[in-house]
Structure 1
Amino acid sequence: MTDKLDPKQADKLRNIGPKSAAWLRQVGLRTREDLAAAGTVEAFMRVKRAGFKPTLNLLYAIEGALQDCHWQEISDERRSELILAADAATALLPPPRYKPAAAPVTTTQMAREEDTMPVPTLFDEPADRD
């Protein structure tokens, strides 16, 4: 039986919750076999390249799902290997497409002539009426 990464069966694949399953489906990884074929780091990188913001927990969750163990049971040595591989793959990504603003934007308003004329108030003396 194939473990699916669909919302109704997210618990079939260990460590993969609804949000992670949705991300993986959106990058074409719909079954455990798809995940195994891509591998832990490639699956993580597909999610990252798609514009999502995965954390290392997803990296560990995918590894745990493939090893059929809880993600916290992954050895420190294996975690370090995964981090190094993910960092190396991330370094190959193109820079972001957006450009930050050059400087803060300020607005200058010119005073209009009617803005500079005094406005009568309640306490002003009324004009002389002859």
Structure 2
Amino acid sequence: MSTDKLRNIGPKSAAWLRQVGLRTHEDLAAVGTVEAFMRVKRAGFKPTLNLLYAIEGALLDCHWQEIPDERRSELILAADAATALLPAPRNRPAAGPVRTTVLTEDTVAMPPLFDEPERGD
């Protein structure tokens, strides 16, 4: 069964899953709920916990709201642990903003870069 026809998986989620190579129920079952979710996340998409629950429900053939709270907590902990192992996002600055200060001779007396050679007169 393709991801287009899996229970709980809407068109957007199905497209994300296809783009990370998960096209069938068997593909999802082979990698598991958390790994499927993490593949979507690593691909640069912004999945919410609803996708995590939807994948689990698709694998169990139940509505995602029927997943017990205890299992949801397990899924969240596993996804959080896997997310912590991801490299830092590249689109965020590594440090605070950089401020450039331009100094001119009028504002600061600059010391010479090199000592002047002594002249033997």
Give the TM-score of the pair, scaled to structure 1: 0.71
Matched, 1:78 2:76: no
Task: Give the letter for the 2:61 counterpart.
Answer: D
The one of the two structures with greater contact order (alpha-carbon pairs below 8 A, sep at least 6) is 2
Q: CA deviation at 1:99?
A: 3.6
Structure 2: distance between partners of 1:84 and 1:69 = 21
Q: CA deviation at 1:103?
A: 5.5
Quote the residue 1:116 is aligned against.
none
Matched, 1:53 2:51: no
Task: Give the letter for the 2:16 counterpart.
Answer: W
Aligned pairs, number: 98
The aligned runs of 1:1-130 (5 Å cut-off) are: 3-5=1-3, 10=4, 12-100=5-93, 102=97
Identity across the alignment (%): 85
User: CA offsets per residue over residues 2-36 of structure 1, 9 Å max, x none?
Assistant: x012xxxx2x2100000000000000001110000
Between 1:35-44 and 1:95-104, the stretch displaced more is 95-104
Task: Give the letter for the 1:102 counterpart.
Answer: P
| Rg larger in structure | 1
- Give 5+ residue unaligned stretches, structure 1: 105-130
- Give 5+ residue unaligned stretches, structure 2: 100-121
Give secondary structure in 1 for the equivalent of 2:29.
Answer: helix
Structure 1: distance between partners of 2:63 and 2:37 = 17
After TM superposition, which residue ranges in structure 1, 4 or more long, deviate above 2 angstroms? 98-101
User: CA offsets per residue over residues 73-116 of structure 1, 9 Å max, x none?
Assistant: 00000000000000000000000112437169xxxxxxxxxxxx
Structure 1: distance between partners of 2:91 and 2:59 = 35
Quote the residue 1:126 is aligned against.
none
CA-based RMSD = 1.6
